[in-house]
């Protein structure tokens, strides 16, 4: 399922704002009907950056692990239109939870890349308790 990785968050950001972003991303991505997933199937990560310079000025967000679905199997496809829906849902989440409330006043750019993943071609293993 989708793994959203947000790079560029500065240390010291309000933890409530970060939790609100985490929740907004999970909710908005799961709300895309074509994905046919639940909120708990969306993971969001905020990895720390080793260099503090420039953090908060630009956010780079990647979506990985978006398993390719085969429409002929009756499952929704991960078309470019669906990928754009994901990117726009995440952008709206960033806008409404961080940028509109001045949590990142120096942020001048947000970029979002959505990658498809084909378990038949790209290698995949999973374990779940």
Asked if the structure places residue 45 within a domain, the reply is yes
When divided into structural domains, the chain yields a total of 1
Asked if the structure places residue 129 within a domain, the reply is no
Query: Quick check: 18 pLDDT over 60?
Result: yes
Place of tokens 């750019």: 109
Instruction: State pLDDT tens for residues 91-129.
Output: 999 999 998 888 999 999 999 999 877 777 777 777 777
Is pLDDT larger for residue 45 or for residue 128? Answer: 45
Is pLDDT larger for residue 49 or for residue 67? Answer: 49
Instruction: Look at strands 3-7 and 58-67 and give their pairing.
Output: antiparallel
Instruction: State pLDDT tens for residues 55-105.
Output: 999 999 999 988 777 555 666 678 889 999 999 999 999 999 998 888 999
Instruction: Look at strands 3-7 and 43-45 and give their pairing.
Output: parallel
Is pLDDT larger for residue 22 or for residue 117? Answer: 22
User: In this predicted structure, what is the pLDDT of residue 26?
Assistant: 98
Question: CATH no. for residue 26?
Answer: 3.30.429.10
Burial class (CB in 10 A: 0-12, 13-18, 19+), 118: middle
Full residue range of the structural domain in which residue 117 is found? 3-122
């Amino acid at each position: 399922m989708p793994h959203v990785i947000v790079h560029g968050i500065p240390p010291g950001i309000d933890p409530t704002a970060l939790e609100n972003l985490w929740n907004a991303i999970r909710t908005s991505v799961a709300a895309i009907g074509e994905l046919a997933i639940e909120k708990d199937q969306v993971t969001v990560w905020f990895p720390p950056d080793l260099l503090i310079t420039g953090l908060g000025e630009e956010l780079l967000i990647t979506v990985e692990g978006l398993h390719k679905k085969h429409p002929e199997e009756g499952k929704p496809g991960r078309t470019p239109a669906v990928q754009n829906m994901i990117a726009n849902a995440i952008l709206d989440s960033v806008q409404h939870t961080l940028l509109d409330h001045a949590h990142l006043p120096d942020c001048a750019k947000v970029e979002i890349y959505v990658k498809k993943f084909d378990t038949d071609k790209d290698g995949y293993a999973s374990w779940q308790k």
